[in-house]
Amino acid sequence: MGKSVLEIENLRTSFRIKDNYFAAVDGVSLTIYENEVVAIVGESGCGKSAFAHSIMGLHDLKRTKLEGKINFKDQNLLNLSVAGLNKVRGKDIGMIFQDPMTALNPLATIGKQIEEPMNYHMKISAAEKKKRTLELLRRVGIKNEQRVYGQYPHELSGGMRQRVVIAIALACDPVLLLADEPTTALDVTIQAQIMDLMKELQSEIKSGIILITHDLGVVAEMADRVAVMYAGELVEIAPVREIFANPLHPYTRSLLNSLPSSMGEKEKLHVIEGIVPSIQNLDRVGCRFAPRVEWVPEEEHEANPQLHEVQPGHFVRCTCYKNFSFPEEKKVGEENYVTT
Ligand SMILES: Nc1ncnc2c1ncn2[C@@H]1O[C@H](COP(=O)(O)OP(=O)(O)O)[C@@H](O)[C@H]1O
Ligand code: SF4
Ligand SMILES: [Mg+2]
């Protein structure tokens, strides 16, 4: 592994609901290295966006409490003022949001929006800015870049808009890219094109990438490592091949098991029984996934499972995985998902 670009230590992000704070991200530690893609996976409501927004400093601090450390370039981002954070945001760290329409300003031209972070972070002339912007548009696969430069977001298709959002994220050569479900709001055919673009860029740029997605096919194709999140905690972290070949935590196994079967049962999705608890109703004592694994006898559950390393680089928050078998577990072999 290369140099680390971001070190997150024991991050806790809590939202105020009435008079109490409830953690949506609950003690997450994760290091991202140069040049690697780390996928964060988990069902809706597990805390993935709360995690990404904490790194970008996007939470409303009047109702959000952030604890722990997010070390980036020798400083803890959580200690920075808004001005300090603005120096990092959009320059060293670029973010690609789920919905390109809300990420863009409807009243500004595409050209101006890509140039905005450059105004802030780069001392270059107007002509250089325009040149760079046109190059970025080409780089994200927009061929008629001169025309698009002067257009407004509503004049573009959803896929084109997401390409623009990616160009903005890349505008100042970030060392870290954060993509929160970058294709969820797009049509299926466009999703594939945007993921192809992300893959292409991944091999060109040197930055670390945090890719939040629920698409395990995308994970298999793009990620180097996978971090599985459940109810605000990371329950398993492993290299991508290892996650598919040897998933250990019951939550990871149920996620993989909920993939449509490749053996003809395409229509049927094996969903995991139960739901992710809300942050107010979450029992924070003991294993958070236990209520959803009814087939494991009560006494076999671990009281307070901690993440521990079972093989180099493979961490799992469970010790009792050896003692149960998953009902109707499908054989999820890496050959099905890993293409490289
Ligand atoms: N601003 C907020 N105030 C209160 N609760 C929130 C807020 N944002 C998210 N949550 C709650 O935090 C949990 C995690 O949400 P989120 O990070 O959006 O999940 P994900 O991105 O994995 O779907 C959910 O239970 C959600 O309802
Ligand atoms: S304690 Fe271990 S076996 Fe029990 S639900 Fe949690 S992770 Fe699973
Ligand atoms: Mg989300």
Residues 206-252 have pLDDT tens digits of: 889 999 998 888 899 999 999 999 999 999 999 999 999 999 998 99
State which amino acid sits at residue 307.
L
Residue 70's nearest CA partner among 81, 89, 57 is 57
Residues whose CB is less than 8 angstroms from the CB of residue 195 and which lie 6 or more positions away in sequence, other chains included: 182, 183, 218, 221, 222
**Ligand 2 atom closest to Cα of residue 317:** 7
The one-letter amino acid code at 301 reads H
Report residues whose beta carbon is within 6 angstroms of any ligand 1 atom. 15, 17, 24, 42, 44-50, 278-279
CATH class of 4-337: alpha beta
- 96-105, 130-139, 184-193, 329-338: least confidently modelled range: 329-338
Other beta carbons less than 10 A from residue 240's beta carbon? 22
Name which residue sits closest to atom 5 of ligand 2, judged by CA: 290
Residue 226 — φ and ψ, nearest 5°? -130, 135
Q: Which ligand is nearest to the CA of 28?
A: 1
Cα(51)–Cα(58) distance, integer angstroms: 10
Structure tokens at 270: 């094996």
What is the spatial distance between Cα 17 and Cα 156, in angstroms, rounded to a whole number? 38
Ligand 2 centroid, distance to 36 Cα (angstroms): 29
Instruction: Give the per-residue pLDDT at 101.
Output: 85
Tell me the backbone φ, ψ of residue 218, rounded to 5 degrees. -65, -40
Global pTM reads: 0.91
How far apart CA 241 and CA 101 sit, in angstroms, is 35
Query: Residue 326: what pLDDT?
Result: 64
Which H or E run includes 94? strand 93-96
**Ligand 1, pocket-test mutation among 13, 49, 276, most atoms within 8 A of CB:** 49
Question: Cα separation of 68 and 185, whole Å?
Answer: 32
